[in-house]
A and B are shown apart, each in its own frame.
Chain A
Amino acid sequence: MPDTDAAAVAEKIRVLVAKPGLDGHDRGAKIVARALRDAGMEVIYTGIRQTPDMIAEAALQEDVHVIALSVLSGAHLELFPRIVDACRERGITPQNTLFLGGGIIPPDDAAMLQGVGFSAVFGPGAHTGDIAAYVREHVPALDRS
């Protein structure tokens, strides 16, 4: 058991990958979870059919840097803003946490989601490597004080 102090573990990027909504397709979410793990991050995976409260509570308890959500049912406009609200109630805001959305999201919707605090939105064709790179680039700018 190494001394955590002496071993000076750098702060690991922790990501919550969650699948809100009623559709049970978590293939995309799992692919993203694995890709971020392979990029050296610690991914908390919570499974399918997550309510906004479940997601916000997990983000709070796990003190994550990033909340990555995937919705394929088309319900993103309804679900994503509710998740941001549930997070805000707990002090988790776009200033201290990166909100990322994934799914089949038209450009107009993407703009709307950015308006409520989503930092970026990735479509089904997005390269997982790009998602990892985006996270690495933007996490240091978060206000984690």
Chain B
Amino acid sequence: MSGRLDELQARLLDGDRRALSRVLSWVENGDARGREMLRRLYPRSGRARIIGLTGSPGAGKSTVTNEFAKVCRARGLSVGIVAVDPSSPYTQGAILGDRVRMAELHADRGVFIRSLASRGALGGLSAATQDVVHVLDAYGKDVVLIETVGAGQDEVEIASTAQTTVLVNTPNMGDDVQTLKAGIMEIADVLAVNKADLPGVDRMVSALKALLSLAPDRDWQPPITPLVATKSEGVEQLVDACEAHHAHLVETGRLADAESARARQQIVALARGRVLANLLNEIGEERLSQLSTAVASRSTDPHSAAEAWVGGE
């Protein structure tokens, strides 16, 4: 097996898109070969700019991602795109439709797009998103753009995955601006107001400014950038704003801190999964079922059951 992996690794590092694609699938599926490739490739990652785009469904995240990629390409940067869409909680199936808005990138060998289903993860990404980003980074992409599911207010996971997080707003959510809870405002490094061809842009910009003035003090003031993604207007400014944020991270030494924080968060998440899997292995599904039945029938309570399962302090 290792001979085959050697060959695949060499092809991937030589820019072979098919090798990259296969490794991404292994990594996404938690395949042992994916783990091994990640172990080999990880030391080569850490060079790409990682930019997240989040915002409500229909705000234009995919369209903005497409335009963002075009500007990066014009600036001579290669681009990886990771677009996450939700899996059905009932069937585990998914329709991944973000490529529809990125059709014009298909002929450009400098762009690689991978669609991911959230596969039950709730934070707006999938469990494997970080690893997929690491592989694209090691492959040599200068910029990796991550489009989140966009399901709402809980998508703070992107902030610990991306170096710069863009929140894509639209003018017609002007009245709903109150619903932009503190959490999502705090993770946004750049506030895009897309669909600036629609009425209400100024109102939206003022509303965002007002919200920012209420947010806790940061040494970075998130810029507000109006754009019309469908007409490629304002995208240069958006990309510049992300550049400025990155420069700020470098100057303040935050970039390295953020990378450690990201690593820590990923280690903890992976360790948690392992501990849980070990517990399930050791104590067994059967014991867990017994405890669940006992809790359901009120012969014990959930805390006592958990303690009976893993042992008390």
Contacts and interface: CB of A to CB of B under 8 A. Distances in A.
B287 interface: no
A6 B96 contact: no
A105 B31 CA distance: 39
Contacts of B248: none
Contacts of A54: 103, 106-107
Contacts of B35: 5
Interface residues of B, number: 48
Contacts, number: 129
A37 interface: yes
A2 B273 contact: yes
A76 to B, nearest CB: 21
15 contacts: A1-B127, A2-B120, A3-B127, A3-B273, A4-B28, A4-B127, A4-B131, A12-B117, A33-B95, A37-B91, A38-B88, A40-B91, A45-B97, A46-B103, A63-B24
B52 to A, nearest CB: 15
B114 A62 contact: yes
Contact of A60 (B4, B17, B157, B278): B17
Give the interface SS of chain A, mostly helix, strand, loop or mixed. mixed
B115 A62 contact: yes
B245 to A, nearest CB: 25
Interface of B: 4, 17-18, 21-22, 24-25, 28-31, 35, 87-88, 91-97, 99-100, 103, 106-107, 112-115, 117, 119-121, 123, 127-128, 131, 157, 269-274, 276-278
A62 B273 contact: no
Q: 3 shortest A-B CB distances, which residue pairs?
A: A3-B273, A6-B277, A4-B30
Contacts of A41: 93
A6 B93 contact: no
A45 B93 contact: no
B95 A5 contact: no
Given A9-B30, A62-B114, A62-B115, A3 B91 contact: no
A42 B100 CA distance: 15
Interface size class of A (residues with CB under 8 A): 35 or more
Contact of A42 (B30, B31, B117, B276): B117
Contacts of A91: 18
B93 A43 contact: yes
Given A7-B273, A62-B21, A63-B22, A2 B127 contact: yes
Nearest to B17: A60
Interface of A: 1-12, 33-34, 36-47, 50, 53-54, 57-58, 60-63, 90-91, 145
A10 B25 CA distance: 11
A57 B29 contact: no
Given A3-B274, A37-B88, A44-B99, A9 B93 contact: no
Nearest to A46: B99
Contacts of A8: 30
Contact of B274 (A1, A6, A34, A45): A6
Nearest to B81: A61
Contact of A39 (B87, B93, B274): B93
A118 to B, nearest CB: 21
Given A7-B277, A44-B115, A46-B103, A1 B121 contact: yes
Contacts of A61: 17, 21, 112-114
B30 A47 contact: no
B94 A42 contact: yes
Given A1-B269, A9-B119, A45-B99, 20 more contacts: A2-B273, A4-B29, A5-B270, A5-B273, A6-B273, A6-B278, A10-B29, A11-B25, A11-B31, A12-B29, A12-B92, A12-B117, A34-B95, A37-B88, A42-B93, A42-B117, A58-B113, A60-B17, A90-B17, A91-B18
Contact of A58 (B22, B29, B106, B119): B106
B21 A63 contact: yes
B94 A37 contact: yes
A113 to B, nearest CB: 24
